[in-house]
């Protein structure tokens, strides 16, 4: 049969791989949206909290280590450096990057690497879906063609738009990661107490390789 011939030629592996990629994207979405992004815990709430703070201090440049730790005016917890209070989550988040409305969760110290992986997988899904949609379009200048292919054409244009948005978001995040800065620090540099006196200098930048290593590893 045709199905057996396609199986012998390996043509059934492509839709299976696409479905698995979509499933991986969905699982990553729920993982990133439901996990703790790095909420600051009350003092003594966790045994490993002091160890995490010590490790974080090792990565703080000596020039800004002397800046006193501030207490959050909302949740009244001591804020580690690079942490910020999120008014939507009602928590302070370590190495706060931004609050993502699509995830309904903050992107912070713990889930930021997974967020980058999720964006990468999502971009692959969109590009693959766009290629499939494009392959089904045989353009003809007629009303009948447009009437029968309108849904496919709209789907292709929507995929192109979403792919562009995801690509720009992924590239911008990879650039910030390579500089060891966050979206919040990049956009609010002049309002952050430990950065505003440095001008445009980034005290956390330790070089491309080390920045990427410390972020992903």
Q: Looking at the annotation, which residues are catalytic?
A: 100
Radius of gyration of the chain (CA): 23
Please state, in angstroms and rounded to a whole number, the distance separating the CA atoms of residues 125 and 209: 28
Please state, in angstroms and rounded to a whole number, the distance separating the CA atoms of residues 126 and 109: 27
3-state DSSP assignment of residue 39? strand
Burial class (CB within 10 angstroms; exposed 0-12, middle 13-18, buried 19+) of 138? exposed
CB count, 10 Å around CB of 16? Answer: 9
Q: Are strands 84-86 and 91-93 parallel, antiparallel or unpaired?
A: antiparallel
Residue in the structure block whose two tokens are 């995929």: 159
The phi, psi pair for 100, rounded to 5°, reads -90, 115
């Amino acid at each position: 049969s045709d199905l057996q011939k396609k199986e012998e030629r390996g043509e059934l592996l492509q839709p299976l791989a696409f479905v698995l990629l979509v499933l991986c994207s969905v699982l990553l979405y729920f993982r990133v949206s439901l996990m703790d992004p790095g909420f600051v815990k009350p003092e003594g709430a966790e045994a490993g909290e002091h160890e995490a703070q010590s490790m974080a201090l090792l990565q703080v440049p000596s020039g800004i280590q002397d800046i006193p730790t501030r207490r959050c005016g909302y949740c009244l917890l001591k804020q580690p450096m690079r942490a910020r209070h999120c008014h939507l989550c009602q928590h302070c988040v370590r190495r706060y990057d931004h609050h993502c409305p699509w995830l309904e969760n903050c992107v912070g110290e713990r889930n930021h690497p997974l967020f980058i992986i999720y964006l990468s997988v999502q971009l692959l899904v969109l590009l693959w879906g766009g290629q499939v949609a494009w392959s089904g379009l045989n353009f003809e200048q007629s009303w009948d063609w447009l009437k029968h292919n309108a849904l496919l054409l709209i789907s292709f244009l929507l995929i192109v738009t979403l792919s562009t948005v995801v690509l720009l978001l992924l590239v911008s995040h990879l650039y910030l990661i390579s500089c060891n800065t966050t979206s919040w620090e990049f956009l609010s540099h002049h309002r952050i107490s430990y950065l505003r006196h440095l001008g445009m200098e980034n005290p956390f930048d330790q070089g491309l390789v080390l920045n990427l290593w410390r972020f992903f590893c």
